[in-house]
């Protein structure tokens, strides 16, 4: 058997194999990073709720999936509906309501939970003149980016297809929200007449980050190995009597 590499296949194959191997090692690095991130978020998810402090020095990434408590009153007249939320085959919406915080008057957006699509809305006329002060327990979330096929939001119709904190704050007529929102897991009235508690979806607040980097790494390494084998086979031939 003789191995006789030729110029052009070698010029193409060797860099290609090197690039595929580098992609594989990059995915291994990403795998380690993702595992550490998931472990950190799971620690936050399993910890006790802490009072949320609106401190500019604390980033949204530091708060993501952290259990928190906030106190204030809801702006029910400015609630917003996130559409296309299906639960157990039943179409519905998630109700987002601005919460005016008791400590300073800043406004935070709260996902109060899921209701069926035919929900008539919050009966504001039953609230009375004095809004109820509530303590909200929840989980800090960062909005996901809209997909390619996600429709545009229609604030004038209160039809929201993805969470746009800047657009929602403008629609509510308040200062821009923080770059995160709170997914409510419980509410407790401290004064006034509270509104009925909506239904949270536990699958929406627990840590559920995809981790496919091991699969990607195996794919890149496999492609590199396959290309290398093809290259060797292509340039290897049996020795004939004239090769001596």
Residue ranges per domain, the chain?
2-42+210-243, 66-204
Cβ count near 148 (within 10 Å): 4
CA distance 42 to 154: 35
User: What fold, for 66-204?
Assistant: OB fold (Dihydrolipoamide Acetyltransferase, E2P) (2.40.50)
How high is the pLDDT of residue 132?
Answer: 82
pLDDT at 243 over 70: no
Model confidence, pTM: 0.74
Q: In the beta sheet, which residues pair with residue 187?
A: 136
93: tokens are 């919406």
pLDDT at 127 over 80: no
- Supply φ then ψ for residue 186, to 5 degrees: -175, 150
Nearest to 24 by CA among 191, 225, 204, 202: 225
Tell me the mean pLDDT in the region 202-212: 70
């Amino acid at each position: 058997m003789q191995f006789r590499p030729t110029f052009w296949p070698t010029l193409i194959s060797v860099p290609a194999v090197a690039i595929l191997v580098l992609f594989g090692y990059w995915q291994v690095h990403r795998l380690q990073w993702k595992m550490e991130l998931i472990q950190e978020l799971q620690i936050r998810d399993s910890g006790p709720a802490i009072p949320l402090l609106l401190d500019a020095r604390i980033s949204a990434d530091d708060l993501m999936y952290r259990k928190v408590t906030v106190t204030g009153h809801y702006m029910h007249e400015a609630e917003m509906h996130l559409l296309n939320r299906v639960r157990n085959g039943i179409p519905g919406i998630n109700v987002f309501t601005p919460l005016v915080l008791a400590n300073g008057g800043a406004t935070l957006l709260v996902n109060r939970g899921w209701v069926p699509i035919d929900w008539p809305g919050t009966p504001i006329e039953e609230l009375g003149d004095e809004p109820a002060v509530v303590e909200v327990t929840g989980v800090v979330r960062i909005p996901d980016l809209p997909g390619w096929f996600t429709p545009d939001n229609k604030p004038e119709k209160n039809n929201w297809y993805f969470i746009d904190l800047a657009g929602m704050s403008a629609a509510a007529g308040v200062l821009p929200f923080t770059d995160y929102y709170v997914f409510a897991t419980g509410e407790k009235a401290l004064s006034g007449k509270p509104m009925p508690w909506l239904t949270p979806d536990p699958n929406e607040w627990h840590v559920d980050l995809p981790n496919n980097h091991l699969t990607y790494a195996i794919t890149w390494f496999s492609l590199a190995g396959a290309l290398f084998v093809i290259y060797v086979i292509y340039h290897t031939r049996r020795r004939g009597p004239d090769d001596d």
